[in-house]
Structure 1
Amino acid sequence: MTGITVIVVVVALAVVVGFVVTRREGKVRSIRPAEAANDRVEQLLAAGVQRGVPTVLHFSASWCGPCAAVRRVVASVVSDSASVDGPAPVEVEVDMDENPALAREMGVMSLPTTFVLDAHLVERSRVSGVPSARDLVAAIESAR
């Protein structure tokens, strides 16, 4: 009987830990705009981000399985957003293994991580995991 009780407690604990770890997965979190530091701006520009247009910046790696899903969602949303009024967003993918300094500067803790930057390179939204297309569209609209 004690063995069954221990198993039940371990399973319940595993469910709670799993819920806590994944509750923010794929959720777009809006960021209160703040001026980007000069060092961050220089690193973003070196990574291919352009001033003057909203940017969807996503960090990935060749070994990251979910990153392929992010590529599909971002490509679809960016191409669909090009026909909407306002500046068309630009997609920039950064390999975390090739650019660890920028990943550290942006606070990337896991892959995939996606950011929406406004035209002034200010972070407006952040997504850990695979974002939904609808949430990503809303984040881009708020950055325009």
Structure 2
Amino acid sequence: MTAGQLVLLVAVVLALGFGAWRALADGRFRGTHRVRGAGAAATPGDEASEPGLLDGTDIEHELGERATLLQFSSAFCAPCRATRRVLGEVAELVPGVAHVEVDAEHHLELVRRVGVLRTPTTLVLDARGREVARAGGTPKRDEVLATLARVTVAE
């Protein structure tokens, strides 16, 4: 085996490994990121001043009574359309849950503050606006429902 063939083989194996990892990780809900500067303008002692909370003014929509599915999308993102459909169905099924879609390109300050690196990214916010889970990619309906069940039971 020549050096060129060995390099090609290693590159193919690494690419397949990365693709398999992405397929397994894509759309799965994981831990959260700290929301930088959320609630900083609120007065001390106010509940909204707690670090890590987003409110209706941050996302320009009302939060859900029990939870909010906050989706970051971009205009030419095909997986964003599938994510919109999945999250919309879940929001209709589960009382008190709102689905809010934010155009990442038009809300860059918020995107940076919450640490969104790709679209679609879905944040699950509890009733107070605290991020409790996130998924990069298109989540599966059952996984969204299971994550919401954990969030709303913990209240």
Alignment TM-score, normalising by the size of structure 2:
0.76
Residue 108 of structure 1: aligned partner: 116
The number of aligned residues is 138
Distance in 2 between the 1:13 and 1:33 partners? 31
Residue 38 of structure 2: aligned partner: 37
Identity of aligned residues (%): 32
Q: Which runs of 5+ in 1 are unaligned?
A: 83-87
The 5 A counterparts of 1:68-107 are 68-82=81-95, 88-107=96-115
Q: Which runs of 5+ in 2 are unaligned?
A: 41-51
* 2:121–2:137 CA contact under 8 A, matched in 1: yes
Distance in 1 between the 2:141 and 2:117 partners? 22
- Considering Cα pairs closer than 8 Å and 6+ residues apart, tell me whether 1 or 2 has the greater RCO: 1
Residue 146 of structure 2: aligned partner: 138
* 2:53–2:128 CA contact under 8 A, matched in 1: no
1:11 aligns with 2:12: yes
Distance in 1 between the 2:34 and 2:10 partners? 43
Distance in 1 between the 2:54 and 2:9 partners? 52
Distance in 2 between the 1:109 and 1:77 partners? 24
Deviation at 1:4, TM superposition (A): 3.2
* 1:26–1:128 CA contact under 8 A, matched in 2: yes
- My pick for the range that moved more, 108-117 or 16-25, is 16-25
Change in 2 beyond 3 A, CA 1:42/1:115: closer
Backbone CA RMSD of aligned residues = 2.6
Per-residue displacement from partner, 1:11-40 (whole Å, max 9, x unpaired)? 112223334455421111144999x83146
Distance in 2 between the 1:8 and 1:44 partners? 51
